[in-house]
Structure 1
């Protein structure tokens, strides 16, 4: 019954994901962060895991967290780059109330397990 967002932050389940990667990988796969973890299919989990491994490798290699796909970069979309102390191009992390890069819906935020959660209610339907 625990949400997938909470499970991704639980070091007993999977270590090292962190808040940025949690928000971003769930967005990239269109998964509602409040979806119960037990409802994630093996195929969905495999895709999430594969994506996390690659995103985290790239983060280490580039010393910054970039999670947007090439077709969603500022250059590709004709939008200004992200201005944030954390740097990196992201879909939802620390973008509360800003429009989603994909659908334009305002990004939402909430507290979950003492961490800020970010998601797009349109792109990440239950």
Structure 2
């Protein structure tokens, strides 16, 4: 199975612009951070082929990224767009957690602004799905 930690480590290689990367929770919500989460709307049974797991060739993992930028809305939007474009242009994604990556599909048409935190820091969300063998 593909882990959030492996996704976070891969994101560091394609988008090293963030000062901090987190899985599950942004500790202290420091500026210029990227949080990697399971997408909460993923529901239903796992997509297992007839014949069980041994006959299943491809699984998927839905990911939600929280871009916790700065108080500068323009700079945060640019950072979110830069990451989105990196994800959009991915081809030949390396193996993660011993899983061959088949495809990355974005689930939103652009980074989604989600407002500001209690300190006025702008935030965006990007959702995508990774299909892996």
TM-score by length of 1: 0.26
Larger of the two Rg values belongs to structure: 2
Which of the two has greater helix per residue?
1
Which of the two has greater strand per residue?
2
